[in-house]
Structure 1
Amino acid sequence: MKFLYIGIDPMDFRPDYFQLHVVDKFDGVRQLGNEVDYICRDEGKIFELIGGKKIFIPLIQAGDCDKEYFRYILAFLNDNEYDIVYLNSRLIYPEMCLMAQTVKAQKFGTKVIYEPTYWPIDFYFHKEMNTYRGNKQYGLFLKKFFEMLSQRRRGSDFALCADAAVVFGFPARTVRGMPAIPMPNGVAVNKIHASFSSEALDQPVTILAVADGPGTCGFERLFRGLKIYYEKDFHDSVTIDIVSNDSNTALLRQAAAEIGIEGYVNFLGEKSLAQINDLCATHTIAVGSLDLYLEDRIYDSPWITKFFCAAGIPFLYTGEDIGLDSKVPFALKLPNLDAPINMELVSEFVWRCRFFTDLAQQERRYAEQHFDWRILMKRILLFTATGKLEA
């Protein structure tokens, strides 16, 4: 089977991001015995992998890059046949209907899958509209409002051409009238090393915190919880090691100093995925962002928790993750609100984890069965073919 991925939105060509969100995901399709190509772009060029050959094509900077990119894709689809075409974009564009119609005209039985970058997209429209209204920018507010209405109309048109939608991290069953399958985020488990060594019960607790952007990422919740923990004179030694580049951690450094626990927080700087993988083997537990509540969101399926799961390190998380059973022993779900993290609860979680000598093996198996891209993409392809979630 021939499979083509088309990334509609411009992508800053960051190797880690591209590897996680394109290459690893569709390598799962390749592992199922299929031929996989992709076409993507950043602001300045198209980059593609066709038939195993990488090609880079500069876009005309003085022109309309969007229209030029769409013309290129439509011309390519007119000359090539695929069994599955997978479209990823934040918004639905009129050209996407043409793409779907073109591939179906080229080959009978071709399936078109759509993955919205964010869902529900109306949430993001409302968020921007509220910002404009609060700043009394009523012109921009109305522009965004009509754009939202336009998306609903375009979605209805596109639903007539597409066969299925994939929504990551949200329990959607339809997307603009298209049948949808909700999926957790995934990782390439075979590229992540797991450490199966166990910590002694009396070892210091070291928390690996991986920040995913500027701001505090909710880690000040950890700081406040740790402050309360030490004020109660608990005896477990707890420290936090934060991974992020220096420009992203200015607010975190300030928060640690203001709260008065800077002596227990270490800033490790920016690390590659391989280095984060090594750090998982030397820390007690790990945590990703804890600020989901700031966006008034309930559902989330961050890739970093899937990474922790594959690496065999127990982790903390917030929100509802559709791919993670809340009763697994290697993950602790925390309240999704602006409150200090209860470090006594975290300490109890650490003790429970240390009593399970085969916990890391169990966690690794869970990642292989639930988060590996080969497993997830198989479910997506079967759903597209049959329309059944049970597949």
Structure 2
Amino acid sequence: MDVVLMTFVDFEDTQSSGFVKKIEGQAKAFRYFGCKVALAYYRKDLYCIDLPDGKTICRYANSTNRILYRRTAYQSIEDYLKSRKSTDLLFIRSLYCDFQLITFLKKIRKYVNKIVLEIVTYPFDGEIKRNIRYAFKEYKFKRVFIEIIKYVAYLLSRNFLKFYVDYIVVYGNSDKYIWKIPSITLDNGIDTENIRKRIPKNLKSNKIVMLGVAGLRDVHGYDRVIKGIANYYKKYNNKPEVDVEFRIVGIGIELPRLQELVKKLDVENYVKFLGFKSGNELDDEYDNADVAVSALALHRIGLKEGSPLKLREYCAKGIPFIYAYEEKNLDENVPFALKLEANDSDIDIDQIVDFSMRCRSIDNITDIIRQYAEENYEWKVQIGKLLKTLGVI
């Protein structure tokens, strides 16, 4: 089976490292089932296609103009599909829909047997509305105008998808049809072979280390943890029996707000911003942490259900974690996950301390979590579901 995996991710952008891992994991899973995969992506000012025979073809993309930048991707894939005459599956990873996408689909439909559109966030409406509100608050009126235009284009163009797309893939959503197109619900996956299991080093310490790893946005809800830590130290007059530290790895739009909040609440000694980390440096953070922080504020963009990739990575690492949304592919009774309320309330740090201590008392807790990831979150499992729906396996 010939598969073209089309993305709009810049593989050299450090903030996209999580997305890159996901995409490479998907490609590897397709190959596991015998598919010949052409993987398409940006590399700074180039749009590249890694061909099944090991060769790579690239085309210059003008990154200073968003429309021309995306047009290069569409033209590159159109030319590639035309040269092949027929391709079994085009799998498109898209953040949203616009008329550029519709025009592209109309042009290439006759060259592809099946088209599957992966919607990264669904429903997307809440995220766009929130972007508009943020731009208003910061007096970025040009940005407000752009976001409104984007939203209108999204609302209008999505009605045309049903003429060209065979299936829509979504994560953590159970709707059978989306925009009158059959949907396939998958879970975000991981490739555990490429994720080193952590080696816990903090099991006997009288200190709990919380770790958040993300491209920082308000949907992660790290402000809830920061406020909770301020309450915790105030409650115990800065002398709790168990110290708590929150270490944040990552950069992003939310970083300045979080830094300002930490300073305002006077918790600089307990909240550390570490910037971007990868490789051995990131592994060390996991080894020295007790509990990881998954998404705590998906409700801010109107989502009740979710399937964040980071939770799967935490599982593969073998670290206990907290989260605050409906996670369908996670048994709420597992001892290594703590579900919190999906609202803007401050996190109860005493609850986190108790949870962490319980996890420390479980023998081989790291292996238990890792095994759960291997059995439930591997990309091979998720892509297998997709190919089964398509009638391939």
Q: TM-score range with shorter-chain normalisation?
A: 0.7 to 0.9
Which of residues 277, 282, 290 is equivalent to 2:283? 277
Q: Structure 2: which amino acid aligns with 1:72? A: S
Q: 1:14 is matched with which residue? A: 13
Which of residues 309, 322, 325 is equivalent to 2:328? 322
Q: Structure 2: which amino acid aligns with 1:54? A: T
Distance 1:279 1:193 in 2: 12
**Structure 1 residues 182 and 251, CA gap change in structure 2 (3 angstroms):** same
Q: 1:293 is matched with which residue? A: 299
1:213 counterpart = 2:199: no
Greater Cα offset, 371-380 or 79-88: 79-88
Q: Structure 2: which amino acid aligns with 1:55? A: I
Q: 1:72 is matched with which residue? A: 76
Distance 1:296 1:357 in 2: 38
| Aligned pairs for 1:93-242 within 5 A | 93-104=102-113, 111-124=114-127, 127=130, 143=149, 146-158=152-164, 162-195=165-198, 197=200, 200=203, 203-213=206-216, 217-233=220-236, 234-242=240-248
**Structure 1 residues 351 and 85, CA gap change in structure 2 (3 angstroms):** same
Distance 2:205 2:76 in 1: 61
User: Are 1:88 and 1:116, in contact at CA under 8 Å, matched by a contact in 2?
Assistant: yes
**Structure 1 residues 10 and 154, CA gap change in structure 2 (3 angstroms):** farther
Q: 2:311 is matched with which residue? A: 305
Which of residues 342, 363, 369 is equivalent to 2:369? 363
Identity %: 23
Q: 1:107 is matched with which residue? A: none
Distance 1:196 1:13 in 2: 29
Distance 1:380 1:373 in 2: 11
| Aligned pairs for 1:4-43 within 5 A | 4-7=4-7, 9=8, 11=10, 13-14=12-13, 16-17=17-18, 19-41=20-42
**Structure 1 residues 326 and 75, CA gap change in structure 2 (3 angstroms):** same
Q: Could you tell me the TM-score, scaled by structure 2's length?
A: 0.83
Q: Tell me, what secondary structure is at the counterpart of 1:47?
A: strand
Distance 1:140 1:216 in 2: 22
Q: Could you tell me the TM-score, scaled by structure 1's length?
A: 0.84
Q: CA deviation at 1:248?
A: 5.9
Distance 2:331 2:339 in 1: 10
Which of residues 357, 360, 382 is equivalent to 1:354? 360
Q: Structure 2: which amino acid aligns with 1:232? A: K
Q: Tell me, what secondary structure is at the counterpart of 2:49?
A: strand
Distance 2:254 2:133 in 1: 26
User: Are 1:189 and 1:310, in contact at CA under 8 Å, matched by a contact in 2?
Assistant: yes
> Could you list the per-position Cα deviations for residues 321-347 of structure 1 after superposition, in whole angstroms to 9, with x for gaps in the alignment?
232222221111111211110112111
User: Are 1:238 and 1:264, in contact at CA under 8 Å, matched by a contact in 2?
Assistant: yes
Q: 1:57 is matched with which residue? A: 59
Q: CA deviation at 1:177?
A: 2.0
Distance 2:318 2:71 in 1: 45
**Structure 1 residues 141 and 239, CA gap change in structure 2 (3 angstroms):** closer
> Could you list the per-position Cα deviations for residues 338-357 of structure 1 after superposition, in whole angstroms to 9, with x for gaps in the alignment?
11101121112112211211
Q: Tell me, what secondary structure is at the counterpart of 1:185?
A: coil
Q: List gaps (5 residues or longer) in structure 1.
A: 105-110
> Could you list the per-position Cα deviations for residues 83-111 of structure 1 after superposition, in whole angstroms to 9, with x for gaps in the alignment?
3221222214132133232223xxxxxx3
Q: CA deviation at 1:175?
A: 2.2
Q: Tell me, what secondary structure is at the counterpart of 2:343?
A: coil
